[in-house]
Amino acid sequence: MSKQKAIVLLSGGMDSTTLLYHLVAEGWEVEALSILYGQRHARELDFAKRLCERGQVTHTVCDLGVLSKVLGGSSQTDSTIPVPSGHYADPVMRITVVPNRNMILLAVAAAKAISVGCATVAYAAHVGDHAVYPDCRPEFILALQGALNLCHYDGGVGLLAPFSQMSKADIVKRGLQLHVPYYLTYSCYTGKEKSCGICGTCVERLQAFWAAGAEDPIQYEDRAYARTINP
Amino acid sequence: MSKQKAIVLLSGGMDSTTLLYHLVAEGWEVEALSILYGQRHARELDFAKRLCERGQVTHTVCDLGVLSKVLGGSSQTDSTIPVPSGHYADPVMRITVVPNRNMILLAVAAAKAISVGCATVAYAAHVGDHAVYPDCRPEFILALQGALNLCHYDGGVGLLAPFSQMSKADIVKRGLQLHVPYYLTYSCYTGKEKSCGICGTCVERLQAFWAAGAEDPIQYEDRAYARTINP
């Protein structure tokens, strides 16, 4: 019997990269999909590409950059809005929310899944996202699963979000078990070549590695700031 | 108190055009959104544009044409697959289904709604679509409403589909009451300048006008074929 196949949303960051490795380890055949939606940190997709080349994973990049026109009001799609620094759970981080981003990305992933005759899509929402990102919360995942199941004939498309009850530190631990090449991932919201170390995603990432008893192998402009922020 | 505002998915066809008029008549403030997704019948968007200019409705066109790369297997996004003729309910019409199209379009509409501070999106699914289009069925609408309600803070985005229990003939009747300028709409799946009269959507449209006791004002290459198809 052939392996079950999943379309994995791969941003190039550490969560979705770990998800790709995790699903392969769980016996899934995977295909990666990366989507440009006008994000400030589009650099992440170069990392996704390199990662897939290295792992010989089929990878599609879909350039929907014009979406930035309808995705206003976020620091991640509007270059005039500064990226805030600090902790994800800080209400100031709401400015980083890209309106309905995950439904758009998962809807496109499901379309691709149907087109290639595969019944599953996957994304890497995790517990750390819940405080600020509505479209990473378990209740959203459950509701969207319901809609995806009905979007096409014969049960539609399944939605996997195996990290939705895991912390980012748990993800790092799982990734280290799987020898995920974290030096080939990129997360910083600023999109700068060298990760800033002070935006919400840099702080969360650095702290996740520390909580997992490890050190993040990528370079940071400021590796000390995250020590000053309450996890 | 200011009127409630809805983002209306406007294809340029008769259903969504009627929906726009219907919502205005029901007291909504409307803004139209048309999306290119690589459809063969992209000509419909010229009609949407003209309609909105005429009605002084704010109109955004979002060109996601590159989606055709991930929306394979449909006669409407793959020019090598012929458009079938006949009745919508014929299983052969399944080839016209664009994978997960409506979830993508509604997800983008919801993103726009959030960006402009509006709480509602609307689309024109109707009973005639149910036989072939999974993403027009009441159970899909209900499930997607659930996901949209959770996609953002404070109740997310509402989904209106007021025609979901109406036949296309009922839509024509409503439209005629509202003096919808149907000569400014386009529905044909072939995308030809003159509507073919034999594709599923032409047949359904012609029959809907007849069932409403009217004649479709647009030009057809063949207006007789639809008479030979059992409604």
Name the A residues in 166-205 with CB < 8 Å from any B CB. Answer: none
Give the pLDDT score at B108.
Answer: 98
| A210 to chain B, closest Cα gap in Å | 31
Q: Do B108 and A104 touch (CB under 8 A)?
A: yes
Chain A residue nearest residue B103, CA to CA: A107
Give the pLDDT score at A88.
Answer: 80
| B9 to chain A, closest Cα gap in Å | 13
3-state DSSP assignment of residue B98: coil
The tens digit of pLDDT for each residue in B212-228 reads 999 999 999 999 999 99
Residues 6 or more apart in contact with residue B210 via CB below 8 angstroms: none
3-state DSSP assignment of residue B62: strand
pLDDT at B197 over 80: yes
User: Is the minimum CB–CB distance between B146 and chain A shorter than 8 Å?
Assistant: yes
Q: Apex CA A147: angle with CA A116 and CA B93, to 5°?
A: 55
Asked if residue A125 lies in contact with residue A164, where contact means CB atoms within 8 angstroms, the answer is yes
Domain formed by B5-228, architecture: 3-Layer(aba) Sandwich (3.40)
pLDDT at A1 over 80: no
Of A4-18, A66-80, B139-153, minimum mean pLDDT range:
A66-80
Question: pLDDT confidence of B229, banded at 50, 70, 90?
Answer: very high
Predicted TM-score (pTM) of this structure: 0.96
* Spatial distance between the Cα atoms of A134 and B11, rounded to a whole number of angstroms: 29
With residues binned 3-state (H G I as helix, E B as strand, rest as coil), the percentages for chain A, rounded to 5, are 40, 10, 45
Share of chain A above pLDDT 90, in %: 86
What residues does each domain of chain A span? 5-187
CA atoms within 13 Å, Cβ hemisphere of B9:
24
* Spatial distance between the Cα atoms of A100 and A98, rounded to a whole number of angstroms: 6
Q: Which two tokens stand for residue A37?
A: 């939606």
User: Is the minimum CB–CB distance between B49 and chain A shorter than 8 Å?
Assistant: no
Give the residue from A64, A81, A95, A100 with the most B CB atoms within 10 Å of its CB, the best one to mutate.
Answer: A100
Give the pLDDT score at B2.
Answer: 60
Amino acid A21 reads Y
The tens digit of pLDDT for each residue in B75-94 reads 999 989 999 998 888 888 89
Question: pLDDT confidence of A2, banded at 50, 70, 90?
Answer: low
Which strands sit side by side in the sheet containing A120-122, from one edge to the other?
Answer: A59-63, A29-36, A5-9, A120-122, A158-160
* Spatial distance between the Cα atoms of A129 and A137, rounded to a whole number of angstroms: 7
The tens digit of pLDDT for each residue in A185-209 reads 999 999 999 999 999 999 999 999 9
Domain spanning A5-187: which superfamily? HUPs (3.40.50.620)
* Spatial distance between the Cα atoms of B140 and A86, rounded to a whole number of angstroms: 40
User: Is the minimum CB–CB distance between B150 and chain A shorter than 8 Å?
Assistant: yes
What pairs with residue A5 in β-bridges? A29
Backbone angles phi, psi at B204, to 5 degrees: -65, -40
What value does the mean pLDDT of chain B take? 94
Give the pLDDT score at B131.
Answer: 83
ipTM of the assembly? 0.95
* Spatial distance between the Cα atoms of A64 and A36, rounded to a whole number of angstroms: 5
User: Is the minimum CB–CB distance between A33 and chain B shorter than 8 Å?
Assistant: yes
User: Is the minimum CB–CB distance between A158 and chain B shorter than 8 Å?
Assistant: no
Q: How many residues would you count in chain B?
A: 231
The tens digit of pLDDT for each residue in A139-187 reads 999 999 999 999 999 999 999 999 999 999 999 999 999 999 999 999 9
The tens digit of pLDDT for each residue in A13-43 reads 999 999 999 999 999 999 999 999 989 889 9
The tens digit of pLDDT for each residue in A78-114 reads 989 999 998 888 888 899 999 999 999 999 999 999 9
Chain B residue nearest residue A114, CA to CA: B99
Question: pLDDT confidence of B3, banded at 50, 70, 90?
Answer: confident
| A227 to chain B, closest Cα gap in Å | 30
CA distances from B123 to B21, B27, B107 (A): 12, 16, 12
Cα dihedral across residues A97, A219, A80, B60: positive or negative = negative
Q: Mean pLDDT throughout B183-210?
A: 96
